[in-house]
A and B are shown apart, each in its own frame.
Chain A
Amino acid sequence: MIQLTNIEKYYANKGVKNYVLRLVTTTINQGEFVSIMGPSGAGKSTLLNIIGMLEEPTYGTYNFLGEDVTSLNERKRIELYRNHIGFVFQAYHLIDEMTVYENIEAPLLYKKVGSSERASRIADLLDRFNIVAKKDLFPNQLSGGQQQLVGIARALAAQPSIILADEPTGNLQSAQAEEIMALFKKLNQEDGITIIQVTHSEKNAQYGNRILHIADGIVKEDVAVIA
């Protein structure tokens, strides 16, 4: 599904190249649940952003669903966002002016999903995540864990094939974090959604089935999680 070949990323500063990623080559298949781990500043977020096409690599090639997306035009990229990729953020990034319901609805509007279909999908998600009662509240009226649930529900609304999550539990207490991780695992196993997450916690990484260890921009280890 994802094929990274010799991906490099550097920032040039006064003629000096500061490498963030170096010759990253890896393949991620449909249905995998990958955790990216590593010290702060190692380049985890950068890698995830490149996978999410939010940043372009300085060098290398990137194939997504068999298509070269190394430098993609905006329209094509937006199509991929609408149909294949869901993002989950550490800071949740819900839109403050929208209710829970509207936040989940927004990607469906961009995707031009019909209104009855929209309503049923949202009802389904609210139900599944146990937040029906909260649907008319605004983000600032929710706890962090609840906000992240909404964030995930929003990412799922467009029925993506892959979810990219950058430290999704970074701001949460461990009980809430576990709930989110369990949810990810369920999504991965029951719905076959590919998940790539960045995490600091070994415990969280255990929910997935593969761990990429990154340090200084280099993939140091690529290990499978033994269930």
Chain B
Amino acid sequence: MFKLNLKIALRNLFKNKIYAAINIGGLAIGLTAFVLMLLYINHEESYDTWDSALKNVYQIRERHSFFTPDNKEHLQESNESRVGSLIRHKVPQVIAVTKVDPDWDFRTGYSVRVGNADPITVNRMKDSDSSFFHVFKYRFLQGSESNALIAPKSVVLKQSLAKKIFGEGNVLGKVIKVAVWQGDKGMDLTVTGVVEDPQTPETAGFTAIMRTGNKDKDPVNPTNNNYCQVYARVNEGTDPELLNQTLKRVYTDYKKSTAPLKKIEYKSYFADGKYLQLKAIPLAEVHGNRPFELSWLEKLKPVIAICVFLLLVSIINFVNMATAQSVQRAKEVGVKKVMGAYKQQLIAQFLLECALQSIVALFLSVILIEVLLPSFNTQFHVDLSFWHNPHLFNMLLQLFGLFTLVTLLAGFYPAWILSNYDPASVLKGNYSGSLKGIILRNVLVVFQFIISVTFIIAISVMHLQTSYLNNKDLGFERSNLINIRAGYDQDLADKIKRIPGVQYVATTTQVMGNAFNVPEEIQYNGNKISLNTVTISMDALSALGVKLLKGRVFSREYKQDTINTVVLNEAAAKLIDKNPVGKSYKIADEHKMLNFQIIGVIKDYHNEGFDKEVLPTLYKVTTLGGTSSTNNLIVRLNSDKNAAIIEKIKAEWKHNYPDFLMEYTTLDSAFDKVLENNKRFISMIVLFSIVSVSLSLLGLFALSTFVAKRRTKEIAMRKILGASNIQIVGLLNKTFLVLVIIANLISWPVAYIVVKKWLNGFAYRIDLPLYPFFLATVVSIIIAVLTVSIQARRAALANPVKALKYE
């Protein structure tokens, strides 16, 4: 029976080749998107799962206000370094504790030299202590866990890095020189181990773990703090609840006892609603729950929604086609029923047919995935694979689940409709029962078009917003500007300045790609106002090419500019005074008040993503009131031979810093990077929209074919009665047109809400225009009419006599 049903299913597929192809192809595309998403989710879920012993590892998070974007207290991944030894000694459940560097956002890497070879840049080399590999279990290919970091000035390499530096072979005992910044003469570290690259991604990922000795000790002076990440391994079977209670008690005691040493009142830890908190987060939960960023799941939600919609669209095609086709199968059902088939047997038969198509679609989608993965990986900066997936079995299980789900979703309704046919009426030639499916079919078509129209509206709005951002005046000149990743060094700056074609060399803590915000409270006319402070060198504002609105910018001609002058941006000026130039404000410094004079106002310039507003900011050259610095050496070029000039700058650099490779970005690429996430999101939406719209149209095409076929006799009769071809095309279009219009009406508010929400993510955005809505409606109607008309025309042109005779 199964064999016969399978045969019939195959014959049916071949008989309706085009529709089968549309069905299967559409489903394959829907599945592909969905499976890619599953792969991605699996990848994110697989973080920190490379060893079962990791379930006993916790990340320690401390609540404090250092390095926070809003200058308020948060539970953070970086801890004061003393927390490490505190929990090592005071928390009984803890077996091992390690302190390790966090991932720096802005520093791309350290320079590594072997002997006299040219330095290479290596990312994610982290300084830690002797316990790192007691906390995180890795498989040692060379050396051993117990001996590797036993001595200071040692380093353990990942296999991949060892290969990159030394190639194959034994590397134990070899020495690498690691320089951390450009002036660093470097430290010699002896390789004492090589560990295998784990199969799954790691939160505390690294290319090499160094033990320089810095993490072995805490600052001697109790008022000085170092910050680092802290991870702890606990006893098997430790209750996380109890662990956190112990942490809380130990931490409170610690803060109480150290407050006098730090010259801080213990009470002040609780001022303004603040409180003390030290928390152990199971490693498995760390990746999905990073401070200061949306969890990957949150970020992925729109994509998940889109993938689900896409899959739904293709399933809807499937259902529509199958129910439309059921007219043709009615006789079969009737005959089989009088031959003694149970209803369940018929349902099983139709589900089998559906399963056959889904399995083909699934195979196609696996092929598609293999083809698409490389570009998917580059798009999303991941390294996913299907066949070499460490969780292949799991994946196959998910695919099987998906297959079952799709088969049931797509197959059950048609199977149920079909198996319910009343044999008496079917065999009498009275197929009116098949109209039962029509309402559902129409609802599904409407649903498909809602999705498609919403997509069309969304991409046109996104397109408008993107071109708005691309052409937005940034407030500074981004072309011909480069940013070298280095601290300001007067000697090097002077040398670069002398290269012909270099106009300015400067430093600033705030430039697109690397902005460092330092909040400061000023007092102006008795009002306290919080501003962002940016420390710059004399030429920085000129180098950036910002627009001056009032007063002047800094200049060497004015001695005072190195003493107590500041420039405000427009946002800051708005907070202070309409006409602030020439006026002064104070800030409180330990014992006295410091006085600053405002000499100019510049137009706000952008230095972060467009999701954030430009902060009210003051710029100063003077060291009065403290300074800050980051690795931004900005160079303004004013020739058209940038590449040659950059080569010259590199030569000067190499002369000054032979141990460290020069790295730079152009501000153009920094700008692209700011827009990158957005761009990626949009190109994905565009892709999905195209797929979704074409799937819907294919579905509509197939459906209109069936409808035309079902109405062959009616059409023939009308023609004999004198209807013109156009009237007949119109007749067939009418039904579908109504559906498309209903879909448009529903999708307008839906799209409005979705798009509005997306736009709200930008601090700088266009007003939501109306014409994308009309555009989507017009486009959807035109393509729907075209699609249906192709079929309708064929039906209209057919010879009516043939159709009538056939009956």
**Chain A: residues with CB nearer than 8 A to chain B?**
45, 49, 52, 54-55, 74-75, 78-79, 81-83, 85, 87, 89, 91, 93-98, 102, 105-107, 109-111, 154, 158
Taking the closest CB of chain B, its distance from the CB of A110, in whole angstroms, is: 5
| A52 close to B338 (CB less than 8 A) | yes
Residue interface bits B402-440, CB-to-A below 8 A is 1, else 0:
000000000000000000000110011100000000000
| A54 close to B340 (CB less than 8 A) | no
Least CB separation from B5: chain A residue: A109
Least CB separation from B2: chain A residue: A109
Answer whether A91 and B343 are a contact pair too, CB < 8 Å, given A97-B332, A102-B4.
no
| B7 close to A78 (CB less than 8 A) | no
B337 proximity list for chain A (CB < 8 A): 78, 81
Q: B334 near A: Cβ within 8 Å?
A: yes
Question: In the complex, given contacts A78-B337, A93-B334, A158-B340, what are 6 additional A-B residue pairs having Cβ atoms less than 8 angstroms apart?
Answer: A74-B343, A81-B339, A81-B340, A97-B8, A106-B336, A110-B336
Taking the closest CB of chain B, its distance from the CB of A57, in whole angstroms, is: 13
Provide the bound-state CA to CA distance between A54 and B334, in Å.
10
Provide the bound-state CA to CA distance between A91 and B334, in Å.
13
Provide the bound-state CA to CA distance between A91 and B331, in Å.
10
| A93 close to B427 (CB less than 8 A) | yes
Interface centre among B335, B341, B342, B423 (most CB of A within 10 A): B335
Answer whether A89 and B427 are a contact pair too, CB < 8 Å, given A98-B8, A109-B4.
yes
Pick the 8 closest A-B CB pairs, nearest first: A82-B340, A54-B424, A81-B340, A107-B339, A97-B11, A110-B340, A109-B1, A97-B8
Provide the bound-state CA to CA distance between A95 and B336, in Å.
9
Least CB separation from A164: chain B residue: B338
| A97 close to B340 (CB less than 8 A) | no
| B341 close to A78 (CB less than 8 A) | yes
Answer whether A54 and B427 are a contact pair too, CB < 8 Å, given A81-B340, A97-B12, A106-B336.
yes
Provide the bound-state CA to CA distance between A95 and B427, in Å.
12
Count of chain A to chain B residue pairs whose CB atoms are closer than 8 Å in the complex: 66
Q: B301 near A: Cβ within 8 Å?
A: no
| B11 close to A111 (CB less than 8 A) | no
| Neighbour of B428 across the interface among A45, A52, A98, A109, CB < 8 A | A45
Least CB separation from B426: chain A residue: A93
**Chain B: residues with CB nearer than 8 A to chain A?**
1, 4, 7-8, 11-12, 15, 331-332, 334-343, 345, 423-424, 427-429
| A95 close to B332 (CB less than 8 A) | yes
Provide the bound-state CA to CA distance between A78 and B345, in Å.
12
| A78 close to B340 (CB less than 8 A) | yes
| B15 close to A111 (CB less than 8 A) | no
Provide the bound-state CA to CA distance between A87 and B424, in Å.
12
Provide the bound-state CA to CA distance between A81 and B4, in Å.
20
Taking the closest CB of chain A, its distance from the CB of B672, in whole angstroms, is: 57
| Neighbour of A97 across the interface among B15, B341, B428, CB < 8 A | B15
Provide the bound-state CA to CA distance between A82 and B343, in Å.
14
| A107 close to B340 (CB less than 8 A) | yes
| B336 close to A54 (CB less than 8 A) | no
B335 proximity list for chain A (CB < 8 A): 93-95
Least CB separation from B328: chain A residue: A96
Provide the bound-state CA to CA distance between A89 and B424, in Å.
11
Taking the closest CB of chain B, its distance from the CB of A175, in whole angstroms, is: 23
| A110 close to B339 (CB less than 8 A) | yes
| A106 close to B424 (CB less than 8 A) | no
B423 proximity list for chain A (CB < 8 A): 54
Provide the bound-state CA to CA distance between A40 and B338, in Å.
24
Provide the bound-state CA to CA distance between A94 and B423, in Å.
14
